[in-house]
Amino acid sequence: MQAVSHVEFEGRLKTGAGAPRSGGGLIRLAVVGACALMLSACVSAKEQRAMDLGQCADFGFQPGTDAFAQCMMDVSQQREMMQQNRLLAQQAQLAARNREEESRRDLYRALSLQRTGDKNFPVCGASSAGGLDARNGTWYGPNCRAK
């Protein structure tokens, strides 16, 4: 899922009764909407709805019109997309961290095995900053040897 830019958001807004006539109002709606979305985690659903109502009214949409309803739906959809994008970004960061950690563990395993028998390195144990290689039952770490 991709983030919706303010230009795309503007393109989705429909004009109608009560809609502002200038394009600047639509840009302002998108900017204020993005700011409101960032603050939405700090307010209750009732407060969020009141802020959305105020937002659409401030941009010249008249309550009870199709344009006002469209504005409310667009603000809500944009908030949901922002939340989904945040979740996807968090998941991507977690996946990247997991890949990095797995690569680091693979490197430590390989180095520890290469150092097997090298008396310059201590034997890896539970306190080594690596882990237990379940495949061969040996400990591994960045600065130690497997056996």
- Residue in the block written with tokens 């390989």: 110
Rounded to an integer, what distance in angstroms lies between the CA atom of residue 61 and that of residue 20?
A: 7
How does pLDDT run across 16-44, given as a tens digit for each residue?
444 444 445 556 666 666 665 565 567 78
pLDDT of the residue at 32: 65
Scanning the chain, the segments in alpha helix (DSSP H) are 6-12, 23-39, 45-58, 66-114
Residue 111: which residues within 8 A CB-CB, separation 6 or more? 140, 142
Tokens at residue 25, please? 């109002």
How does pLDDT run across 57-107, given as a tens digit for each residue?
998 999 999 999 999 999 989 989 999 999 999 999 999 999 999 999 999
Residue 130 sits at the vertex; the CA angle it makes with 124 and 136, to the nearest 5 degrees, is 65
pTM of the model: 0.51
Rounded to an integer, what distance in angstroms lies between the CA atom of residue 130 and that of residue 143?
A: 9
Tokens at residue 74, please? 């667009």
Contact by Cβ (8 Å): 143, 121:
yes
How does pLDDT run across 101-129, given as a tens digit for each residue?
999 999 998 999 899 888 989 999 888 88
